[in-house]
Structure 1
Amino acid sequence: MNLSTHVLDTSVGEPVAGLPVSLHRLDGRGWTALAAGVTDSDGRWEHLVDWYAGRHRLTFDISAHRGAGTFFPCVAVEFDVTGADRRTHIPLLISEFGYTTYRGC
């Protein structure tokens, strides 16, 4: 199974390179870390995951890109995975005072 994300800063029209990203899964003990890394030079991060059906969370450290005083220092995107999901792509668009995400292909 494959999970990928693509982070773009719409205020400057460029990908966000070097952004810390982490992936967690919710289980009976709480959130369990599955993977962590940083976006590449094109703002992408990809990870092969042994998917488990259920709730997952991608966390993006926006302050690493925009600085300590940014309005949204961290963005956490929670999503549900079914057993049939083979590939999940979750883009993140950020700007100074907002962000948006969606399920991509």
Structure 2
Amino acid sequence: MTASLTTHVLDTAGGTPAGGMTIDLFRIEGDERVHLASAVTNDDGRTDAPILPDADHGTYEIVFRCAAWLDARAPERRRFLGDVPVRFGIDEDAHYHVPLLLSPFGYSTYRGS
């Protein structure tokens, strides 16, 4: 068995899923980031399939492209956040879920189920 990785994004300021956001996934190898996948969230704020269905143990980084997403929805509003990188480790053969709760001025994340 290998690990799998899913994600979703919720717009906590709007109270809705964050559909249409680009997400990039990287594997960290020493000082290098190796691009593995890109996806765009659907109307439910999720990717249509696991962003990484067969993940090896190691260090990964998801970059949520929040700046473009926030600017497209409220170009007149100032925002504090740019893109949000989340670096995490996969060290067991299990399902990993890394969601992002987003507002224009802050975010939180956690290992979900």
Q: TM-score, normalised by structure 1?
A: 0.90
By how many angstroms is 1:33 displaced? 0.7
Matches of 2:31 and 2:13, distance apart in 1? 39
By how many angstroms is 1:29 displaced? 6.0
Over 4 Å off, 4+ runs: none
**Which residue of structure 2 lines up, in the alignment, with residue 101 of structure 1?**
109
Q: Report SS of the residue matched to 1:65.
A: helix
Render the CA deviation track for 1:35-80: whole Å, top value 9, x for unaligned: 1011011000232333222110000010122117531110000000
State how many pairs are aligned: 104
Residue type matched to 2:12 in 1?
T
Matches of 1:28 and 1:76, distance apart in 2? 17
Matches of 2:10 and 2:31, distance apart in 1? 33
**Which residue of structure 2 lines up, in the alignment, with residue 92 of structure 1?**
100
Matches of 2:45 and 2:4, distance apart in 1? 17
Q: Report SS of the residue matched to 2:59.
A: strand
Q: Report SS of the residue matched to 1:64.
A: helix
Alignment of 1:1-105 (within 5 A): 1-28=3-30, 30-45=32-47, 46-67=50-71, 70-82=79-91, 84-105=92-113
Q: TM-score, normalised by structure 2?
A: 0.84
Residue type matched to 1:43 in 2?
G
Residue type matched to 2:52 in 1?
L
- Give the gaps of 5 or more residues in structure 2: none
Q: Which has the larger strand fraction?
A: 1
Matches of 2:52 and 2:87, distance apart in 1? 18
